[in-house]
C-alpha cells in the first residue's frame, strides 16, 4: 500500500490528452514539492517534473504538472506512442522522514 | 555529464549480506544527497535510503531499518549500501540516484541503470 495514490492505468489515443492523478496528505504533498518520473519499458526512471510544475531541460512542454492541496496532476498532451510508460509521483513525507512514491500508473497509447 | 554506475549485485542466500557500490561522476559529490531506490519484479518504485550531501544525516525505510546501512566515500565519489540479513522480499533492482539538493527532501534528478539483487536459496 503506497503512501501516495495513483490510478493503476490510463489510456488514450495518439494526439489526445491524458491526466494522471496523485493523492496524498498534509504531511507529504501539501507541504512538500512533488516530482514526477517516467519509466519507459526496461529502463531506469527519469525525472519528468520537479517542484510541482517545473520541467527539466529536454522535457517537452507537452508535459505539465500542477498541485492543489493534497493532490497533484500530471498532464500529457499530443500523446505519442513513445509516451507509453509507467509514471510515478514522489515527494518527501515530513511525518515519516521518508521519501514516498505513488504505486505508479501505466499509460497506454491506443 | 552526470554518471552513476552501480555494482555489487548478485545472488545471495536468505540471511546473507551484500554490499552495493555506486560510482558517481560529473558533479560535486559532497554537495548533493544520494539515494537508493529499489524495484521488485513487476512492482513499483520503493525508496530504500538517503544520505545527505555532507554524509551527516541518513534516512531509512522501515522495511530495511536495522539491516541496511548507507554510506559514502567522498574522496572516491562512491556511494555504498551495506545489506545484511537479506530476505526474499529484498529481491529487486537497486537504483543509485542523485538528488537535486543537499538534504533528503529533493527530487531525484539522475538515476543509475540499476543492479539486480536476488535473494534465494
SS3 string, A40-106, reads: CCCCCCEEEEECCCECCCCCCCCEEEEEECCEEEEEECCCCHHHCEEEEEEEEECCCCEEEEECCEE
Separation CA A95–CA A93 (nearest Å): 6
A73 touches chain B (CB under 8 A): no
Whether B50 and A32 lie within 8 Å, measured CB to CB? no
Whether A33 and B110 lie within 8 Å, measured CB to CB? no
Most A CBs within 10 Å, among B5, B45, B57, to test the A interface:
B45
Whether B105 and A92 lie within 8 Å, measured CB to CB? yes
With contacts defined as CB-CB under 8 Å, which chain B residues touch A94?
A: 105
A75 touches chain B (CB under 8 A): no
Mean pLDDT score across all residues of chain A? 96
Task: Label residue B103 by pLDDT band (50, 70, 90).
Answer: confident
pLDDT digit string (tens) for B66-102?
A: 999 999 999 999 999 999 999 999 999 999 999 988 7
Separation CA A48–CA A42 (nearest Å): 17
pLDDT digit string (tens) for B13-72?
A: 999 999 999 999 999 999 999 999 999 999 999 999 999 999 999 999 999 999 999 999
Q: Which residue has the cell 552501480?
A: B6
With contacts defined as CB-CB under 8 Å, which chain A residues touch B47?
A: 90, 98-101
Q: Give me the mean pLDDT over the A53-74 stretch.
A: 96
Determine contact, residues B107/A46, Cβ cutoff 8 Å.
no
Amino acid at each position: 500500500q503506497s503512501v501516495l495514490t495513483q490510478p493503476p492505468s490510463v489510456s488514450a489515443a495518439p494526439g489526445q490528452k491524458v491526466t494522471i492523478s496523485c493523492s496524498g496528505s498534509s504531511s507529504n504533498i501539501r507541504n512538500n514539492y512533488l516530482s514526477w518520473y517516467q519509466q519507459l519499458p526496461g529502463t531506469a526512471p527519469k525525472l519528468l517534473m520537479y517542484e510541482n510544475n517545473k520541467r527539466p531541460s529536454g522535457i517537452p512542454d507537452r508535459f505539465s504538472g500542477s498541485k492543489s492541496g493534497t493532490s497533484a496532476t500530471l498532464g500529457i498532451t499530443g500523446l505519442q506512442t513513445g509516451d507509453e510508460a509507467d509514471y510515478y509521483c514522489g515527494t518527501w513525507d515530513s511525518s515519516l522522514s521518508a521519501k514516498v512514491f505513488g504505486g505508479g500508473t501505466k499509460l497506454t497509447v491506443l | 555529464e552526470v554518471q552513476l554506475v552501480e555494482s555489487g549485485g548478485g545472488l545471495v542466500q536468505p540471511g546473507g549480506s551484500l554490499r552495493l557500490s555506486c560510482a558517481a561522476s560529473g558533479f560535486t559529490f559532497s554537495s548533493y544527497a544520494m539515494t537508493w531506490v529499489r524495484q521488485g519484479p513487476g512492482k513499483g518504485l520503493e525508496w530504500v535510503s538517503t544520505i545527505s550531501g555532507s554524509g551527516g544525516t541518513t534516512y531509512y525505510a522501515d522495511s530495511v531499518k536495522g539491516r541496511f546501512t548507507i554510506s559514502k566515500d567522498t574522496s572516491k565519489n562512491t556511494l555504498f549500501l551495506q545489506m545484511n540479513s537479506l530476505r526474499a522480499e529484498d529481491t529487486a533492482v537497486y537504483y543509485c540516484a542523485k538528488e537535486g539538493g543537499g538534504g533528503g527532501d529533493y527530487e531525484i534528478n539522475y538515476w543509475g541503470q540499476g543492479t539486480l539483487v536476488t535473494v534465494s536459496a
